[in-house]
Amino acid sequence: MAKIHEVAQAAGVSISTVSYALSGKRPVSAATRARIEAAAQALDYAPNAGARMLAGRRTHILALTEPLRPDTHAPTHMAFVLASSIAARRNDYDVLLLTDEQASAGMRRVATSGLADGIIVLDVAPDDERVELARRIDLPTAFVGVPDDSEGLMCVDLDFERAAGDAVDKLVTAGHQVIGLVGHAPSAYQLSNFPPRVRDGYSAAAQAAGVRAEFRMLEGEGDVQTLARRAAGELLDAGATGILLHCHDTAHAAVLSEVHDRGLEVPQDVSIISVGSTFDTGAFATPLSAYPLVPKLSCDLAVELLVQSLSGEPPEPGVRLIAPTYLDNGSVATPRAAR
């Protein structure tokens, strides 16, 4: 816990020179800079966080709000938290975690006490209460996810509609005439913002392509495995030869089991594409091609937007959709019927 004053003394310069040398905000001769850096090193000096906040009017902290609901999918969530944290650190920001409590209370507190320079909003709900709050406070705020009403907000997300649409096109191009989508549990379509977007992108693309498109959510009694197998079974029974998966990894595995148990081969008998998954779709017994959801891309951009907001030339508000990319693991082929 050395102080700037001690560093200055050790280096034989004034404290302002130390400050400038270390921040680089003013040119300092190479020689003195070297002495200062050596002294700082030797004393294990780091500017006091509180003093820096107060004098510099900058906390070097980003707040991360994530209302950990009982139903949040932990692995996905963790991936986003980690990606945000890494992006923040890369820009020399620390991350303050806002979890419990009525989501907005934390945001408000951080804003009024000046504890953070900006806010990253994770796990965005369609009608998120943090939307209105973000408009009211004057802290730059970036949403990772797109709420229903995104007017005036900075939002970043995968272009789920297009990911689903591209996936449909991929199947159609391969010759599939009947396709299916295995989705999340019905509740996810209320609580999260992206499952509906996948569904809609899927339907629109299918309609545009003139193919028959079935859709099943993980609905009813039983565990995820059972529901996923049933959903997949129904799609296959309906004649689907191409299937899109927008669900958790457990459900993916269950669908593959169902397909396998029916004596069907991927991709010879049925083609499968995973859409918007954060896990490794190449790790299943049958590797799956995918239009993955990459947390790093979203979080990097979110942090970048915040940093830029703090730099003087704030970026335009608006929704930034990240173009989906195809990850080919060989699970798509022309169906037998079309050969």
Partner DNA sequence: TTGAAAGCGGTACCAG
Partner DNA sequence: CTGGTACCGCTTTCAA
Q: How are beta strands 212-216 and 242-245 bridged, if at all?
A: unpaired
Tell the smallest beta-carbon distance from residue 80 to a second copy (Å). 11
Is 141 near a second copy (CB under 8 A)? no
145 sits in the region (left: phi over 0; alpha: psi -120 to 50; else beta) called: left
Contact 186, 215 (CB under 8 A): no
Q: Which is nearer to a second copy, 32 or 250 (CB)?
A: 250
Picked from DNA, a second copy, none, the partner binding residue 149 (CB below 5 to 8 A depending on kind) is: none
Q: Which is nearer to DNA, 47 or 324 (CB)?
A: 47
Picked from DNA, a second copy, none, the partner binding residue 310 (CB below 5 to 8 A depending on kind) is: none
Is 93 near a second copy (CB under 8 A)? no
Is 31 near DNA (CB under 7 A)? yes
Q: How are beta strands 94-98 and 61-65 bridged, if at all?
A: parallel
Burial class (CB in 10 A: 0-12, 13-18, 19+), 261: exposed
- What residues numbered 49-108 form the site for DNA, per CB under 7 A? 51-52, 54-57
Nearest to 298 by CA among 80, 65, 68: 80
Q: Which is nearer to DNA, 58 or 69 (CB)?
A: 58
Cα separation, 213 vs 217, whole angstroms:
13
Q: Which is nearer to DNA, 25 or 339 (CB)?
A: 25
Judged by CB under 7 A, which of 39, 47, 183, 290 binds DNA? 47
Is 149 near a second copy (CB under 8 A)? no
Structure tokens at 237: 């029974």
Tell me the three state secondary structure of residue 307: helix
- What residues numbered 251-270 form the site for a second copy, per CB under 8 A? 253
Cβ–Cβ contacts within 10 Å for residue 1, how many? 8
Tell me the three state secondary structure of residue 243: strand
Beta-sheet strands, E only, within 205-250 = 212-216, 242-245
Is 290 near a second copy (CB under 8 A)? no
> Which stretch in 12-20, 72-80, 159-167, 188-196 sits in contact with a second copy by CB under 8 A?
72-80
Residue 204 identity: A
Tell me the three state secondary structure of residue 214: strand
* Binding residues for DNA (CB under 7 A): 2-5, 12-17, 19-20, 22-23, 25-29, 31-33, 45, 47-48, 51-52, 54-57
Residues that bind a second copy (CB under 8 A): 1, 44-54, 59, 61, 64, 68, 72, 74-75, 77-78, 81-82, 85-86, 89, 94-97, 99-101, 109, 112-115, 138, 223, 250, 253, 285
